[in-house]
Homo-oligomer: A and B are copies of this chain.
Amino acid sequence: MSAFQLEPWLQARGARVEALLADRLGRLQAAPRRLTEAMAYSLLAGGKRLRPVLCLAFAEAVRGGPPGTAAEDSACALEYIHTYSLIHDDLPAMDDDDLRRGRPTNHKVFGEAMAILAGDALLTEAFALVGTGPEPCRAELASRLARAAGAVGMVGGQVLDIAEDRPAEEGYLTRLHRAKTGALLQAACTLGVVAQGGTVAQVAAAERYGEAVGLAFQIADDLLDVTSSSEAMGKPTGADAAAGRHTFPAVLGLEASRLRARALVEEALAAVRPLESVPGPLAALARYSVERST
């Protein structure tokens, strides 16, 4: 059907994201060296870069060309915030993880105090990135990013995740993941549209797509934790169950989880049809969110 090839597109965009992240971090030369080293250690450690890539894909679709500076700043800010959340989640007081992407976690290398501060700095600098520039969209970028990452979004989801009285129900799991991972993935999509001055209808399409892909991505993550090898993931697998953490496979069963993820992908594909007359990166990324192997 579609002639679009995701792999080379993803490689090009991934390389672009790496270059952008290094550039933006390089602007903090007046900051203490040890702090920027700790920030760079986790920020430039690779990873799928799904959030910046989604942001750039929506910006390209809206603009019909390469993303502008506000979209590129947003892409970096999303990865700053994702990275800070990983650093803080890995702390001894939280998940107490020693490994992340096959390397020692930030606090294992720089100490707990510096890991807390590196996370704080990444979170703060994300807003310096989206808030600074002449484009009229800048305030809306900051507002949307903050609400997605804050008490009703990502941080709130993390609180639900560490709560002691989590019910093993699909409704609670969905609420938890909509907040914990879904809100920021959704913001990745909408920020790309807002950064390019997209229409209200385009923002709404990005919201629907982002919500569906965000949840599909999490279900796929839970499935990978059950079915994948530790080597492929770069971290221990089966850790969710070992930690007594409820997952979609545990609550719905493996097969129903797979069906739910596929239905969400169809929702996402329908939402972005008006943005891609011929299926392109947005359609391919929706499929990739559940078909990936790491």
Contact = CB atoms under 8 A, between A and B. Distances in A.
Interface of A: 28, 30-32, 34-36, 39, 84, 88, 91, 93-94, 111-114, 116-117, 119-121, 123-128, 130-133, 138-143, 145-147, 149-152, 155-156, 158-160, 162-163
Contacts of A113: 93-94, 162
Given A120-B155, A127-B146, 15 more contacts: A28-B151, A31-B151, A35-B151, A93-B112, A114-B159, A117-B158, A121-B150, A124-B149, A124-B151, A125-B146, A128-B146, A131-B140, A132-B139, A133-B139, A139-B142
A273 to B, nearest CB: 31
Contacts of A28: 151-152
A31 B152 contact: yes
Given A35-B151, A162-B113, A127 B156 contact: no
B155 A117 contact: yes
A216 B35 CA distance: 26
Nearest to A147: B128
B145 A127 contact: yes
Contact of A152 (B30, B84, B114): B30
Contact of A131 (B35, B131, B160): B131
A125 B151 CA distance: 7
Nearest to A28: B151
A138 B126 CA distance: 16
Contacts of A162: 113-114
Contact of A34 (B94, B140, B145, B159): B159
A50 to B, nearest CB: 20
> Which 3 residue pairs are nearest across A and B when measured between Cβ atoms?
A131-B142, A93-B112, A138-B139
